[in-house]
Amino acid sequence: MAAIRVSPGVYRDSKTGKTVRALTQAAANKMLGKATAAKAGNAQAKIPGASAAVNKAITAETAVADQEAGKQIALQNPDYTNPLGSQTTTQNADGSVKVDTQLSTPQQNILSAGEGLTSMGQGLAKQQLGSYKQFNFGANSAADRSRIEDEVFDRLTRNTDRDYAREKEQMEQTLHNRGIALDPADAQYKSNIGALDERYDTLRANARADATQLGGEEMSRAYGMELGTHQQGLNDASALQGMGTGLMMPNMPGYQAPTYDLSNPSELDLAFKGLNQNQQQIEIAKKRAAAAAAGTTDTQSPFDT
């Protein structure tokens, strides 16, 4: 299985999952113990040792960066302590980091006591909600309103019939004294008694209207009282469930990760190419100088410009 490129300069073994930094897939295969698939005409093969040098530099740089990362973790993650608690950071042998936050003794006591209160409050709330019934004020509202209106009407017209009978008797006596016949068919009798009846009918009608209005107001008041009682029970249950608050968290900064930037393998390769070309041009210059001194002619190099 061949190395798979996962990002610039990084390859992963498709079988073992191991990753390496290398300039080319061929170099990665070689580092992973795979047979190289580079062709003779590969551009990288024209510079002897370039890929190996790049990989060696990257490996060395990675080791230094890992050491620096460990130092950064230690420097950037000191142990913190304040009146509310503490935080400690531990780096494990495998490079993983463990952050442990502890509450101070008073805050831990508040938390423990609060958890107990919360548990107890939720139990009480559950018990209270067990007897909960849906609010249904309108079940007997029509009958209750009718009863209330009749009671108000009876109070407003308590003496109406008595007063009517008294006034009618007095009016008939007056009509008799005036010589008017006490005959319902008589026009004068009918007019005077009709006016009396109309006045008392109006009084009763007004009393019924007032009773209707007062009955509605009384029902609204009763509705509000019953709804308030029902709502208070729900509020009590909600308050019970919220028992146990008061904890103040330490608000520590948390883990601060290290930062480091490794060199780009392609840039390193270009640098090594430049160094190799410079070295080859130096060697060519030395050969030409030696050939000139000996009176011989050197073959032109591909690097001769």
pTM: 0.34
Mean pLDDT for back-to-back runs of 10 residues, the chain (305 residues): 64 70 72 46 38 72 74 79 86 75 85 76 71 63 80 88 92 91 90 92 92 82 74 68 62 72 66 74 81 65 48
Flag whether 118 is in a domain: no
User: Token pair for residue 204?
Assistant: 């009763």
Quick one: 235 and 162 in the same domain? Answer: yes
Q: Which long-range contacts (CB under 8 A, 24 or more apart) does 113-119 make?
A: 113/244, 114/243, 114/244, 114/245, 114/246, 114/247, 115/244, 116/244, 117/243, 117/244, 118/241, 118/242, 118/243, 118/244, 119/244
> Which residue type occupies 199?
R
- Sign of the dihedral defined by the CA atoms of residues 57, 58, 63, 66, in that order: positive
Q: Which residue has the tokens 């996962």?
A: 6
Quick one: 236 and 165 in the same domain? Answer: yes
Domain of residue 212 covers: 137-241
pLDDT at 17: 63
Flag whether 275 is in a domain: yes
Q: What's the Cα-to-Cα distance from 116 to each of 100, 105, 110, 245, rounded to whole Å?
A: 24, 16, 10, 11
Flag whether 87 is in a domain: no
Q: Into how many domains does the chain fold? A: 2
CB burial readout 208-230, b (16+ within 10 A) else e: beebeebbeebbeeeeeeeeeeb
Quick one: 224 and 290 in the same domain? Answer: no
Quick one: 151 and 59 in the same domain? Answer: no
Flag whether 90 is in a domain: no
Flag whether 94 is in a domain: no
User: Token pair for residue 266?
Assistant: 């392609």
Quick one: 157 and 192 in the same domain? Answer: yes
User: Token pair for residue 131?
Assistant: 């007897």
Quick one: 146 and 219 in the same domain? Answer: yes
* Longest CA pairwise span in the chain (Å): 177
Distance of CA 259 to the CA centre of its chain: 30
Flag whether 302 is in a domain: no
Quick one: 141 and 234 in the same domain? Answer: yes
Quick one: 233 and 145 in the same domain? Answer: yes
Quick one: 268 and 199 in the same domain? Answer: no
Quick one: 234 and 283 in the same domain? Answer: no
- Are 134 and 233 in contact by the 8 Å Cβ rule? The answer is no
Quick one: 158 and 231 in the same domain? Answer: yes
Quick one: 26 and 63 in the same domain? Answer: yes
Q: Which of 198, 214, 241 is the last residue of a domain?
A: 241
